[in-house]
Structure 1
Amino acid sequence: MRISPIAILVVVVLAILLFGAKRLPDLARSLGQSMRILKSETKAMRTEGGEAEEPQAAPAPKTIKAAPGVPGPSRPVVADEQPSQETTQPR
């Protein structure tokens, strides 16, 4: 499918009538910037997608279990976990 020169001329004349000759360069400039941004974003998404296809196995967290017969915490304690800042005060 080819676009004829007459069709291009009609589109240009309509654009001049709608937007005016003074605003067309600004519109073309903003369209070019939008296309550059779109191109860079799609390129970034492709590179991120390529890395996501090869997932790396994350190391499993180390848990500390209580010895049999010794009361332990209500949930397993993760060795990499930071201790909470809660302080208990005697009453």
Structure 2
Amino acid sequence: MLRNAFQPWHLVLVVCLLVFGSERLPDMARSLGRSMRILKSEAHALRSDDTA
């Protein structure tokens, strides 16, 4: 049962927590979300420019 409890992303999460610390992770996640939104909107703008 314990073997199925841990997934590979759990290990990634623990390593990120140890490397960056608990105080910086929310800021990093927020900036990553902003970057993804900007990238998505720019890709959408490029697609709409191609069709026009």
| TM-score, length basis structure 2 | 0.86
Which protein has the bigger helix share? 2
CA distance in 1, matches of 2:15, 2:32: 17
RMSD: 0.8
In terms of Rg, which structure is larger?
1
User: Percent identical across equivalent pairs?
Assistant: 51
Matches of 1:16 and 1:47, distance apart in 2: 40
1:27-49 C-alpha deviation (Å, 9 max, x unpaired): 00000000000000000000000
More strand by share: 1
**Normalised TM-score (structure 1):** 0.50
Aligned length: 47
Aligned match of 1:77: none
